A = this chain, B = another copy of it.
Protein backbone atom coordinates (compact mmCIF):
# COMPACT_ATOMS: atom_id res chain seq x y z
CA UNK A 1 0.00 0.00 0.00
CA UNK A 2 1.10 3.56 -0.49
CA UNK A 3 3.38 4.53 2.38
CA UNK A 4 2.68 1.08 3.67
CA UNK A 5 5.39 -0.93 1.97
CA UNK A 6 7.84 0.32 4.58
CA UNK A 7 7.61 0.74 8.32
CA UNK A 8 8.65 4.09 9.71
CA UNK A 9 10.87 6.20 11.93
CA UNK A 10 8.83 9.09 13.34
CA UNK A 11 10.63 12.30 14.32
CA UNK A 12 8.39 14.16 16.78
CA UNK A 13 9.51 17.50 18.13
CA UNK A 14 9.73 21.26 17.55
CA UNK A 15 11.41 23.47 14.93
CA UNK A 16 14.76 21.75 15.46
CA UNK A 17 13.07 18.55 14.26
CA UNK A 18 11.02 20.24 11.54
CA UNK A 19 14.21 21.85 10.18
CA UNK A 20 16.00 18.51 9.91
CA UNK A 21 15.65 18.51 6.11
CA UNK A 22 16.88 22.06 5.43
CA UNK A 23 18.93 21.53 2.24
CA UNK A 24 21.75 23.86 3.23
CA UNK A 25 22.18 22.11 6.58
CA UNK A 26 22.16 18.43 5.55
CA UNK A 27 20.08 17.92 8.66
CA UNK A 28 19.49 14.72 10.61
CA UNK A 29 16.23 14.09 8.75
CA UNK A 30 18.02 14.12 5.41
CA UNK A 31 20.78 11.87 6.75
CA UNK A 32 18.31 9.38 8.23
CA UNK A 33 16.18 9.31 5.07
CA UNK A 34 19.33 8.57 3.08
CA UNK A 35 20.71 5.71 5.17
CA UNK A 36 17.26 4.15 5.69
CA UNK A 37 16.25 4.36 2.01
CA UNK A 38 14.39 1.18 0.94
CA UNK A 39 14.30 0.11 4.61
CA UNK A 40 12.27 2.54 6.73
CA UNK A 41 10.44 5.77 5.85
CA UNK A 42 11.46 8.74 7.96
CA UNK A 43 8.51 10.96 8.88
CA UNK A 44 8.88 14.61 9.81
CA UNK A 45 6.52 15.35 12.68
CA UNK A 46 8.38 18.44 13.79
CA UNK A 47 6.23 21.40 14.84
CA UNK A 48 8.01 24.75 14.83
CA UNK A 49 7.38 26.74 17.99
CA UNK A 50 5.55 23.93 19.79
CA UNK A 51 6.14 22.83 23.36
CA UNK A 52 5.13 19.45 24.88
CA UNK A 53 1.80 20.92 26.01
CA UNK A 54 0.74 21.65 22.43
CA UNK A 55 2.58 18.64 21.03
CA UNK A 56 0.58 16.03 22.95
CA UNK A 57 -2.80 16.74 21.26
CA UNK A 58 -1.03 16.57 17.89
CA UNK A 59 0.71 13.31 18.79
CA UNK A 60 -2.69 11.81 19.59
CA UNK A 61 -3.73 12.60 16.01
CA UNK A 62 -0.59 11.41 14.20
CA UNK A 63 0.21 8.20 16.09
CA UNK A 64 -2.00 5.22 15.25
CA UNK A 65 -4.47 3.89 17.80
CA UNK A 66 -4.59 0.12 18.31
CA UNK A 67 -7.45 -0.58 15.86
CA UNK A 68 -5.76 1.60 13.24
CA UNK A 69 -2.34 0.02 13.73
CA UNK A 70 -3.39 -3.01 11.69
CA UNK A 71 -3.59 -0.75 8.62
CA UNK A 72 -0.86 1.76 9.46
CA UNK A 73 2.86 1.37 8.94
CA UNK A 74 4.55 0.35 12.19
CA UNK A 75 6.56 3.03 13.93
CA UNK A 76 9.75 1.06 14.62
CA UNK A 77 11.53 4.05 16.12
CA UNK A 78 10.05 7.20 17.67
CA UNK A 79 12.24 10.21 18.40
CA UNK A 80 10.88 12.70 20.92
CA UNK A 81 12.79 15.98 20.87
CA UNK A 82 11.29 18.80 22.93
CA UNK A 83 12.48 21.25 25.54
CA UNK A 84 13.86 24.13 23.46
CA UNK A 85 10.48 25.92 23.61
CA UNK A 86 9.20 24.50 26.91
CA UNK A 87 12.30 26.15 28.45
CA UNK A 88 11.31 29.63 27.29
CA UNK A 89 11.17 31.97 30.29
CA UNK A 90 7.88 33.58 31.39
CA UNK A 91 5.93 35.50 30.17
CA UNK A 92 6.56 33.59 26.91
CA UNK A 93 3.39 31.66 25.94
CA UNK A 94 5.74 28.79 24.97
CA UNK A 95 6.93 28.38 28.58
CA UNK A 96 6.03 25.08 30.24
CA UNK A 97 7.07 24.77 33.92
CA UNK A 98 9.78 22.14 34.43
CA UNK A 99 7.61 19.70 36.46
CA UNK A 100 4.91 19.89 33.79
CA UNK A 101 7.53 19.35 31.04
CA UNK A 102 8.68 16.20 32.85
CA UNK A 103 5.14 14.90 33.31
CA UNK A 104 4.32 15.68 29.66
CA UNK A 105 7.31 13.63 28.48
CA UNK A 106 6.26 10.76 30.75
CA UNK A 107 2.72 11.05 29.38
CA UNK A 108 3.92 10.74 25.77
CA UNK A 109 5.96 7.67 26.76
CA UNK A 110 2.95 6.15 28.50
CA UNK A 111 0.74 6.74 25.46
CA UNK A 112 3.04 4.45 23.45
CA UNK A 113 4.18 2.04 26.18
CA UNK A 114 1.22 1.50 28.52
CA UNK A 115 -0.81 -1.63 27.68
CA UNK A 116 -3.90 0.32 28.74
CA UNK A 117 -3.22 3.14 26.27
CA UNK A 118 -5.27 3.34 23.04
CA UNK A 119 -1.93 4.11 21.34
CA UNK A 120 -0.07 1.15 22.85
CA UNK A 121 2.64 0.06 20.40
CA UNK A 122 4.96 -2.45 22.07
CA UNK A 123 7.25 -2.79 19.03
CA UNK A 124 8.04 0.94 18.98
CA UNK A 125 11.51 1.77 20.32
CA UNK A 126 11.87 5.30 21.67
CA UNK A 127 14.73 7.80 21.68
CA UNK A 128 14.44 10.91 23.85
CA UNK A 129 16.61 13.80 22.68
CA UNK A 130 17.78 16.65 24.93
CA UNK A 131 17.39 20.24 23.72
CA UNK A 132 20.61 21.88 22.51
CA UNK A 133 22.37 24.35 24.81
CA UNK A 134 21.38 27.98 24.20
CA UNK A 135 24.01 30.52 23.19
CA UNK A 136 22.43 33.59 24.77
CA UNK A 137 25.03 35.92 23.24
CA UNK A 138 24.15 34.72 19.71
CA UNK A 139 20.43 34.52 20.53
CA UNK A 140 20.45 38.00 22.06
CA UNK A 141 22.01 39.54 18.96
CA UNK A 142 19.38 37.82 16.79
CA UNK A 143 16.46 38.96 18.95
CA UNK A 144 17.67 42.54 19.34
CA UNK A 145 18.09 42.84 15.57
CA UNK A 146 14.38 42.16 15.07
CA UNK A 147 11.78 44.86 14.46
CA UNK A 148 10.61 45.51 17.09
CA UNK A 149 13.63 44.27 19.07
CA UNK A 150 12.83 41.32 21.37
CA UNK A 151 14.07 40.59 24.87
CA UNK A 152 16.10 37.44 25.55
CA UNK A 153 13.54 34.60 25.83
CA UNK A 154 15.77 31.70 26.89
CA UNK A 155 18.61 31.26 29.38
CA UNK A 156 21.45 28.74 29.21
CA UNK A 157 20.97 27.58 32.80
CA UNK A 158 17.22 27.15 32.39
CA UNK A 159 17.45 25.07 29.20
CA UNK A 160 20.14 23.02 30.96
CA UNK A 161 17.58 21.98 33.60
CA UNK A 162 15.16 20.87 30.85
CA UNK A 163 17.93 18.81 29.25
CA UNK A 164 18.61 17.22 32.64
CA UNK A 165 14.89 16.43 32.96
CA UNK A 166 14.95 14.60 29.60
CA UNK A 167 17.95 12.53 30.75
CA UNK A 168 16.17 11.69 34.02
CA UNK A 169 12.95 10.62 32.27
CA UNK A 170 15.02 8.41 29.96
CA UNK A 171 16.86 6.72 32.82
CA UNK A 172 13.63 6.14 34.73
CA UNK A 173 11.88 4.74 31.64
CA UNK A 174 14.46 1.97 31.28
CA UNK A 175 14.16 -0.82 28.68
CA UNK A 176 13.08 0.29 25.19
CA UNK A 177 13.86 3.97 25.77
CA UNK A 178 17.25 5.54 25.01
CA UNK A 179 18.54 9.10 25.29
CA UNK A 180 20.55 11.15 22.80
CA UNK A 181 22.14 13.92 24.82
CA UNK A 182 22.52 16.73 22.28
CA UNK A 183 22.93 19.28 25.06
CA UNK A 184 25.86 17.39 26.56
CA UNK A 185 27.47 16.54 23.21
CA UNK A 186 27.50 20.14 21.97
CA UNK A 187 28.47 21.60 25.35
CA UNK A 188 31.46 19.25 25.58
CA UNK A 189 32.56 20.01 22.02
CA UNK A 190 32.27 23.75 22.72
CA UNK A 191 34.70 23.30 25.60
CA UNK A 192 31.91 24.32 27.97
CA UNK A 193 32.22 27.87 26.60
CA UNK A 194 28.88 29.44 25.69
CA UNK A 195 30.29 31.70 22.97
CA UNK A 196 31.92 28.70 21.28
CA UNK A 197 28.50 27.11 20.78
CA UNK A 198 28.17 29.36 17.71
CA UNK A 199 30.16 26.64 15.88
CA UNK A 200 27.10 24.40 16.17
CA UNK A 201 24.14 26.79 16.32
CA UNK A 202 22.83 29.00 13.51
CA UNK A 203 21.16 31.58 15.77
CA UNK A 204 21.97 30.55 19.33
CA UNK A 205 18.95 28.24 19.41
CA UNK A 206 18.77 26.13 16.22
CA UNK A 207 21.41 23.67 15.05
CA UNK A 208 23.51 24.47 12.00
CA UNK A 209 24.87 21.78 9.65
CA UNK A 210 27.74 20.93 11.97
CA UNK A 211 25.38 20.69 14.94
CA UNK A 212 23.03 18.37 13.04
CA UNK A 213 25.98 16.22 11.98
CA UNK A 214 27.00 15.76 15.60
CA UNK A 215 23.40 15.02 16.62
CA UNK A 216 23.12 12.44 13.79
CA UNK A 217 26.37 10.74 14.81
CA UNK A 218 25.23 10.56 18.45
CA UNK A 219 21.86 9.13 17.35
CA UNK A 220 23.49 6.48 15.16
CA UNK A 221 25.75 5.45 18.05
CA UNK A 222 22.75 5.15 20.40
CA UNK A 223 20.84 3.07 17.84
CA UNK A 224 23.90 0.83 17.41
CA UNK A 225 24.30 0.37 21.17
CA UNK A 226 20.67 0.20 22.31
CA UNK A 227 18.64 -0.87 19.29
CA UNK A 228 21.16 -2.65 16.99
CA UNK A 229 18.32 -4.47 15.23
CA UNK A 230 17.28 -1.06 13.86
CA UNK A 231 20.73 0.08 12.74
CA UNK A 232 20.76 0.51 8.93
CA UNK A 233 23.81 -1.78 8.66
CA UNK A 234 21.68 -4.56 10.16
CA UNK A 235 18.76 -4.10 7.75
CA UNK A 236 18.46 -4.95 4.06
CA UNK A 237 16.39 -3.39 1.27
CA UNK A 238 12.72 -4.46 1.32
CA UNK A 239 13.08 -5.17 -2.41
CA UNK A 240 16.07 -6.96 -3.94
CA UNK A 241 19.24 -5.15 -4.98
CA UNK A 242 19.27 -5.12 -8.79
CA UNK A 243 22.13 -7.61 -8.88
CA UNK A 244 20.03 -9.99 -6.73
CA UNK A 245 17.27 -10.07 -9.36
CA UNK A 246 16.97 -13.23 -11.47
CA UNK A 247 17.19 -11.58 -14.89
CA UNK A 248 15.81 -14.66 -16.65
CA UNK A 249 12.80 -14.95 -14.32
CA UNK A 250 12.57 -11.71 -12.31
CA UNK A 251 9.09 -11.92 -10.73
CA UNK A 252 9.89 -14.33 -7.85
CA UNK A 253 12.95 -12.27 -6.88
CA UNK A 254 10.94 -9.05 -6.90
CA UNK A 255 8.58 -9.98 -4.09
CA UNK A 256 8.66 -7.70 -1.05
CA UNK A 257 10.73 -9.22 1.76
CA UNK A 258 11.30 -8.41 5.43
CA UNK A 259 14.08 -5.88 5.99
CA UNK A 260 15.57 -8.11 8.67
CA UNK A 261 18.63 -9.93 7.31
CA UNK A 262 18.02 -13.70 7.55
CA UNK A 263 20.32 -15.35 10.11
Contact = CB atoms under 8 A, between A and B. Distances in A.
Which has the most chain B C-beta neighbours within 10 Å: A21, A61, A74, A243?
A21
A85 B243 CA distance: 13
A44 B33 contact: yes
A34 B63 contact: no
A169 interface: no
B1 A54 contact: no
B239 A47 contact: yes
B43 A41 contact: yes
Contacts of A24: 26
Copies of this chain, complex-wide, total 2
A41 to B, nearest CB: 6
A interface bracket (residues with beta carbon within 8 Å of B): 35 or more
Contact of A62 (B2, B22, B85, B255): B2
Contact of A1 (B37, B41, B57, B72): B72
A43 B256 contact: no
Contacts of A93: 247
Interface string A235-248: 00001011101010
Interface stretch (A3-11, A182-190, A196-204): A3-11
Given A18-B38, A41-B43, A242 B94 contact: yes
A49 interface: yes
A91 to B, nearest CB: 11
Contact of A49 (B34, B37, B242): B242
A250 interface: yes
A-B residue pairs, 5 tightest by C-beta: A49-B242, A71-B71, A23-B26, A5-B62, A1-B64
Interface of A: 1-6, 8, 10, 18, 21-24, 26, 29-31, 33-34, 37-38, 41, 43-50, 53-54, 57-58, 61-65, 68-69, 71-75, 85, 93-94, 239, 241-243, 245, 247, 250-251, 254-256
Given A1-B71, A2-B62, A93-B247, 17 more contacts: A1-B68, A2-B43, A3-B41, A4-B64, A5-B45, A21-B34, A21-B37, A22-B34, A23-B26, A23-B31, A33-B33, A33-B44, A38-B44, A49-B241, A53-B250, A61-B256, A94-B242
16 contacts: A1-B69, A1-B72, A3-B3, A3-B41, A3-B43, A4-B62, A18-B37, A33-B33, A37-B46, A38-B47, A49-B241, A50-B242, A53-B250, A54-B242, A54-B245, A71-B72
